[in-house]
Chain A
Amino acid sequence: MMFAALSVKEKKTFTLLATLLLAVLTGVNIYELVHIMNGEIPEALFNGMLKYGSFSIWFNTLMTGIALLYVLLCGKHIEKVGQHTGEYYALIFFILCGGNLLSGYSNLLILFLGIEIISIPQYILAGSDKRNLKSSEASLKYFLMGSFSTGILLMGIALLYGAMGTFDVAKFNFMEHSVDAMSLGGILLIMVALGFKVSAAPMHFWTPDVYDGAPTPFTAIMATIVKAALFVAFLRLFSETFGGINQHWTLVLAIITALTLFIGNITAVFQQSVKRMLAYSSIAQAGFMLFAVLAVNATGFKGIIIYAVAYSVATIGMFAVLMKLKDYTYDGFNGLGKKHPLLAFTATIFLLSLAGIPLTGGFFAKYFVLTAVLEQGTGMMWLVIFALLMAAISAYYYFKVLMAMYFKKGEPELAMEVTAGDKFFLGLAAAIIIVIGVAPDILLAWLKN
């Protein structure tokens, strides 16, 4: 892809090329997955630094699949951002590469590499609309704060290395070495750094500005695929590696979760722009995904898979609808239900899913992560009830968009023509959400253990 930028002149060719490549990648992942399901154990790569199991490969498959949907829905908008379409796609592929490392890492160094490979392209993508001041601001802000969190992550890894004498997470043994201040400090620093990356409160301050300032097609990928991949890393590290000593970090993470839910939901209520509302809603949704990390059990892994797909598809779809409009405020949606019934209808499905209404994937996403936590006992009941109350608040701002679309009169202006292809892929995204909402098992059948 990177080299294609040198030789290809036509912008549309890039989109086509990216679509084909993603389709091939998805195919390869499925091929790999079928082998694993047949009982083959994939060999570890790079001296055991990367190990893939059915969870990792299935997640990679879904991630590339969602990226494919993303390119199909947003491709035309990526072409419109600026001159360097080829580079944008190259950066998106870098992000996918980082995601693949994160789902299969078995060594803290690979974790670090994966996170950096995901982050650096984002700094560039956020600032890709160079003529727009807000975009440059977003990029700089993200870069500065991101560098800090990288430093914190490195510090945490260094402390853990000091305590354990190895980077290989498989060799970590908290039983042998008593849990001392050094390893606990390391875990805490890593938690803060990863919390920053997934925009958990109180490390969320960059999120609204960056998501709002970045060009909308890139916000769509930052809020979805990137976030999902980072959550997989978070979940794997804390469930598989630190799961045995979770009594030491559960309370801290529970407080982070509660704060994330509270700040994300309450602040989202006051937003005037739908794009900014979606930024805060992504913080709120991160709060729910943190439940999967808190749970430390197999249901948590199922939860994150369903959550990642339901949330990513709904959010990408919502952004795709948003990009069609000229005006990003709630008023911009006025009367959409009359003017463009299909656009409004699919947006309705996406919003209902984000709010977690049954018959949409969002319901089972929330259902699984909450069940995962309650499986560990009733100690977390307070957090679950708090989260559900927050979900009721989230219905307020999601339904505000619905109200604008259906119950208010207006003439929504489109920024771009809605083609038959757009309609088809929006319909497809909505169908995916409904299918997950009726039969979540199709996503879980591919997981072993």
Chain B
Amino acid sequence: MILLLLILVPFVTGLISFTWKHGSVKTWALGASLMTLAIAFIACAANSQAMLVYNVPWIPSLGARFWLFGNGMSVVLALLTAIVFPVIFISQRNKPVEDAHRFYGLMLLSQAGLMGVFLAHDLLLFYFFWELALIPVYFLCSTWGGERRIPVTFKFFVYTFMGSLLMLAGVIYLYLQTPGRTFDWDTIRQTGASLPAFEQGAVFCLFFIAFGIKMPVFPFHTWQPDTYEQSSTPVTIVLSALMVKMGLFATVKWLVNILPEGTVYWTNTVMVLSVIGIIYASLLAMVQSDIKRLIAYSSIAHIGLMSLGIFANDPNGIAMNGLVVQMFNHGINITGMWLIVSMIEQRYGTRNLRELGGMAGSAPTMAIALVIIAFANIALPLTNGFIGEFMLFHGIFQSENPYHITFMVLAGLGVIFGAVYTLNMVQKVAYGEAKTAVVVKDVSSNELFGLIVIIGIILLLGVYPKLLFGIMG
């Protein structure tokens, strides 16, 4: 029942937002997202598995059920989704939005879709939510954002829609192999594992293209920097902090677990692609002058490390735990990063590194926040990023893959590059001479609140990561 509420609350409040005529729709949306957050906390505190299941028949003739199930990873990601939305709503409160009721309605609907993806335990239901999360985001990206937003979003949409359709072929194929025709996760898993290796490999391809596009993994990443750059900040946050996790999460739950032999067959290919993605994106990030593009590329590099972790296959499963921690932390850190970027853009009217400088003098609070979030982004100890990245590397090091050391070294190179471009950005933005005569105001109280939440989580989990392990169980 708790899980159903996690989806239902944003869905219903989102629909109501569309017809919202009186009062402030911003307050309504904020209230709705806080309610979802409260429910997510209850879900995290739930001490019995029975509380985290919701299972009713949906389409009996197909054997599809409306089945929600929360285990460690899905609850962590649901929590992340529940945290990010109120933070967005609070810190963007003072920014005027055209057509506010539509904007907030679509935002809440996308939250419902994301929750569904993380909680669905039935393959058809999962597919439904997978697409449902996309449609509101399509409208969000195309309506609010930069000048080139419409063609850029369309590219993003066609990419992901094509991926989803290929996945549909895989879904139908698996479904037809199940005894008694059902979509539930356990049966699908048994069926998938019993398929011959060749078929597992083929179905793996169909699924992985869909998930790889969402992550994005090299070479499916080309939609990502453009879309991040052109979307408005709240939507960029949804895309980079949450939707990217859909791909990673789905790879673990609906791919690696279901098609073991197919996974073995494709492991090295995916790992090589991930490593290429890390190096390639890091190098590109170093030469960007637009901060948004820089962070977009750095995000590709981070995702590359996480997908490496999925396929590390170490005997103790450390990499997998590291992945969950890192997914959560990356979501928090990148949200903070985009909030700062949005503040910079609002105040200076530019995102170009060459035209920025001296922020520490005029807006010290912002500069301090930027430094802390940047440190978390490059995984310095005492910040949350450290523990996740450490576990991922530890897992890859223990991996049984014959090339694991090579992968690790190359991925480590990505971390070094990461420090280079992130610190370079901090230096150019916060320090040096101020390039413009614009009088820069420091953070407003709303923005400050959002930053405090983010930084609070960064430091708390940096010092006491056990909180997160507690939820993971």
Contacts and interface: CB of A to CB of B under 8 A. Distances in A.
A168 interface: no
Contact of B158 (A371, A392, A407, A439): A392
Interface string B39-65: 000000000000000000001111000
Interface string A349-386: 00010000111000000010011001100100100110
B464 interface: no
Given A359-B128, A374-B173, A403-B142, A396 B59 contact: no
B157 A399 contact: yes
Contact of A407 (B62, B131, B135, B142): B142
Given A358-B132, A395-B157, A407 B143 contact: yes
B131 A358 contact: yes
A444 interface: yes
Contact of A375 (B139, B161, B165, B176): B176
Contact of B154 (A359, A371, A392, A403): A403
B59 A440 contact: yes
Contact of A406 (B135, B142, B158, B161): B142
Given A388-B166, A403-B150, A367 B172 contact: yes
B176 A374 contact: yes
Interface string B158-170: 1001100110110
B417 interface: no
A389 interface: yes
Contacts of A118: none
A431 to B, nearest CB: 14
Nearest to B139: A406
A343 to B, nearest CB: 15
Residue of B59, B165, B173 contacting most chain A CB atoms (<10 Å)? B165
B127 interface: yes
B167 to A, nearest CB: 9
Contacts of A439: 59
A392 B132 CA distance: 16
Nearest to A403: B150
B131 to A, nearest CB: 5
A381 B206 CA distance: 12
Interface in A6-25: none
B208 interface: no
Interface string A405-442: 01100000000000000000000000000000001110
Nearest to A338: B99
Given A358-B131, A399-B157, A385 B166 contact: yes
Given A391-B165, A441-B59, A406 B143 contact: yes
A347 to B, nearest CB: 14
A266 B229 CA distance: 31
Contacts of A389: 162, 165
B173 A396 contact: no
B213 to A, nearest CB: 12
Interface residues of B, number: 26
Interface string B103-126: 000000000000000000000000
A404 B348 CA distance: 33
B157 A444 contact: no
B175 interface: yes
A384 B135 contact: no
A392 B162 contact: yes
Nearest to B125: A358
A357 B168 contact: no
A7 to B, nearest CB: 47
A29 B44 CA distance: 54
Nearest to B162: A392
Nearest to B59: A441
A399 B150 CA distance: 11
Contacts of A406: 139, 142-143
Nearest to A378: B173
A358 B61 contact: no
A352 B169 contact: no
Contacts of B157: 395, 399
Given A406-B139, A407-B142, A388 B154 contact: no
Contacts of B135: 352, 357
B146 to A, nearest CB: 13
Nearest to A302: B61
Given A399-B154, A407-B150, A441-B59, A385 B169 contact: yes
A441 B58 CA distance: 9
Contacts of B131: 357-359
B161 A444 contact: no
Contacts of B162: 389, 392
Contacts of A359: 128, 131-132
A366 to B, nearest CB: 8
A440 B169 CA distance: 19
Contact of A392 (B60, B62, B165, B173): B165
Contacts of A399: 154, 157
Given A385-B169, A392-B161, A444 B176 contact: no
A384 B169 contact: yes
B169 A441 contact: no
A409 to B, nearest CB: 12
B172 A371 contact: yes
Contacts of B132: 358-359
Contacts of A440: 59, 61-62
A403 B138 CA distance: 10
A440 B127 CA distance: 16
B233 to A, nearest CB: 19
A352 B143 CA distance: 18
B139 A358 contact: no
Contacts of A367: 168, 172
A129 to B, nearest CB: 36
A396 B151 CA distance: 11
Contacts of A441: 59-61
Given A359-B128, A395-B158, A444 B61 contact: yes
Interface in B247-289: none
A16 to B, nearest CB: 33
Nearest to B151: A403
Given A385-B166, A439-B59, 18 more contacts: A357-B131, A357-B135, A358-B131, A359-B128, A359-B131, A367-B168, A367-B172, A370-B169, A374-B173, A385-B169, A388-B166, A392-B162, A403-B154, A406-B139, A407-B143, A441-B59, A441-B60, A441-B61
CB-based closest 6 A-B pairs = A388-B165, A392-B162, A358-B128, A358-B131, A407-B142, A441-B61
14 contacts: A358-B127, A359-B128, A371-B175, A371-B176, A378-B173, A385-B166, A388-B169, A395-B157, A395-B161, A399-B154, A403-B142, A403-B154, A439-B59, A444-B61
Interface of A: 352, 357-359, 367, 370-371, 374-375, 378, 381, 384-385, 388-389, 391-392, 395-396, 399, 403, 406-407, 439-441, 444
